[in-house]
Amino acid sequence: MLKLIGSRLLQMVFIMGVVSLILFAIFDSDKFKKQIAVAELGGFAVSALSDKDYQAWLDKKGLNTPFYVRYANWVGAVLHGDLGKSFEKNEPVSGLIAERLERTGVLAFWVFALMIPLSLTFGVVAGMKEGSAQDRVTSFISVFTTSLPEIATAIFLTVIFALTLKWLPANAAMVNGWDWRALVLPVLTLVLYDFGYVARMTRASMAEVMSSQYIRTAVLKGLPYRRVILRHALRNALIAPFTIIVLQLNWLLSGVVVVEVFFQYAGFGKLLLDAALFGDVYVIQAATLVAVFVAVLSQIISDVGYTFLNPRIRFA
């Protein structure tokens, strides 16, 4: 088991190394350098600069150093906890990332806090009796909500709750300070999209357990139905959903981009998109590393958790 975790972590570090090198190489192009110069000095100043002055500016910014040297320096700095400085925002990347991650973390926390109980309840209830009315209704709801892309859900919720009923603010830019009400629509959007998927997985797992030999035996033995479900079925039925839920962390990092952009919520996803459009290489690097780290970590937790929880599986 430890060996497995170790090798996965090693793989992750390898992936991060390769990816960041590729990113450095990509953003080393003249096009991106010019883009940064234009953003920093303005189009006029850049076109007025003589080539010598432009090169001097690149030197000053450290952009003239070959990318592999910059890469090596950057790796060294990262190992000391220094992620570099944002070209666009003129501040250290580590602070920026931490602040944005915290905001996205709050969003993610509420998404999970709502989505997990909701989808598990729906899934278990549906899976208890395959083919029943409750099963069909649940299936329909989950296919339906999963079919609404986040952008569409965001629109529907905004039109209903913000524009028509005026219960909630239409955006979550929160310029007047932190506002929980503004968080409702982004959270709901993500929950609605994701809950259907987890509910279906739970349902499938529950249905499988319910049709298994030992549950049938328990029911035949005359144990109370409630007890069978709570004591025996649930424990096994929730193994698969557990791994799925952990993997949703990975999905969430994708989902937050569109939701944060639509609702103008200054979180990690918006930071990543802005940085990519700007060519802010150190921010992109850091954001990508964080994203890869979270994704791989969720994969490892999911695998390890599955092994722990499921006595039938043993890794060689």
Q: Which stretch binds another protein (CB under 8 A): 74-82, 101-109, 229-237, 293-301?
A: 293-301
* Total chain residues near another protein (CB under 8 A): 79
Binding to another protein in span 248-267, by CB under 8 A: 250-251, 253-255, 257-258, 261-262, 264, 266
Are the beta carbons of 203 and 126 closer than 8 angstroms? yes
Binding to another protein in span 296-315, by CB under 8 A: 296, 299
Binding mask 130-159 for another protein (x = CB under 8 A): ---------x---xx-xxxxxxx--xx-xx
Burial 240-269 (b: 16+ CB within 10 A, else e): bbbbbbbbbbbbbbebbbbbbbbbebbbbb
Rule CB under 8 A: choose which of 2, 50, 81, 213 binds another protein: 50
Rule CB under 8 A: choose which of 171, 212, 307, 310 binds another protein: 171
Q: Which stretch binds another protein (CB under 8 A): 117-125, 126-134, 162-170, 210-218?
A: 162-170
Binding to another protein in span 89-108, by CB under 8 A: 89-91
Least Å distance between CB 114 and another protein?
Answer: 21
73 binding another protein? (CB under 8 A): no
247 binding another protein? (CB under 8 A): no
Least Å distance between CB 309 and another protein?
Answer: 22
214 binding another protein? (CB under 8 A): no
Quote the CA–CA distance of 284 and 232 in Å, as a whole number: 47
DSSP reduced 3-state for 208: helix
Q: Which stretch binds another protein (CB under 8 A): 16-24, 70-78, 104-112, 305-313?
A: 16-24
